[in-house]
Homo-oligomer: A and B are copies of this chain.
Amino acid sequence: MNDSGENGEKKKSRRPSQERTAQRDPERTRAAILEAATREFAENGMGGARVDAIAERAGTNKRMLYHYFGDKEQLYLRVLEEAYVGIRTAERALHIGDRSPEEGIGELALFTWRYFLQHPEFLSLLGTENLHRARWLRQSVRLKELHSHLIGELSQVLEQGKKQGVFVETADPLHVYLTIASLGYFYLSNQYTLSTIFGRDLIEPTHLNAWESHIVHVTLASIKR
């Protein structure tokens, strides 16, 4: 049609290299997609998340998303893996064995609660993954090792506490961790329905602080001799 419309003006118009630094930056684009995907999957779940929305949030387009991550499912799995790496890495830095057993457990409970509070997207991703019965997580090859450290360290702290006579003999490391995680997860992830049906705004700082103390108290009460 408009073959002749090519137009003599040099279309180049070559921008005067102001800000030479890369419009072209693979690493940044990749990271932007991953972050945008984390938010989109966390807000809408696997079924509700839109590939177009992720591309737009990342300030790029679908072509790049498929280029770097394959397809929607693989991108979702990367998001989930990164989320787990995040919490397990931060957990390791705690070194709960450095204090008294009681303080160590209290520390872990506080840390877990605060991490959940500051990373709502992590809770949301867990919810989504469980809705699908861990369909994607099960395929992950990167995560088998990641979690054993936590249970190992927790186990040592409990043993020490038993030896010192401050913890009951029946205290089990997985149960202790599940107790801590349960109390934090449910309160935060279900805050919207709970606030609605009980007519109390659970995210208000006063209630938040009360629940934080409650978690530490319940956890220790359940294992102290």
Residues of A within 8 A of B (CB): 43-49, 84, 124, 126-134, 137-138, 143, 146-147, 151, 174-175, 178-179, 181-183, 185-187, 189-198, 200, 210-211, 214, 217-218, 221-222
Contact = CB atoms under 8 A, between A and B. Distances in A.
Q: Is the interface of A mostly helix, strand, loop or mixed?
A: helix
Given A179-B183, A214-B222, 10 more contacts: A44-B47, A84-B197, A124-B131, A127-B130, A130-B192, A134-B196, A175-B211, A178-B187, A179-B218, A182-B183
A196 B47 contact: no
Contact of A130 (B49, B175, B190, B221): B190
A118 to B, nearest CB: 18
B189 A130 contact: yes
Most buried by B among A46, A131, A178: A131
Contact of A198 (B126, B174, B182): B174
Contacts of A183: 179, 182-183
Contacts of A129: 192-193
Contacts of A185: 182, 186, 190
A194 B222 contact: no
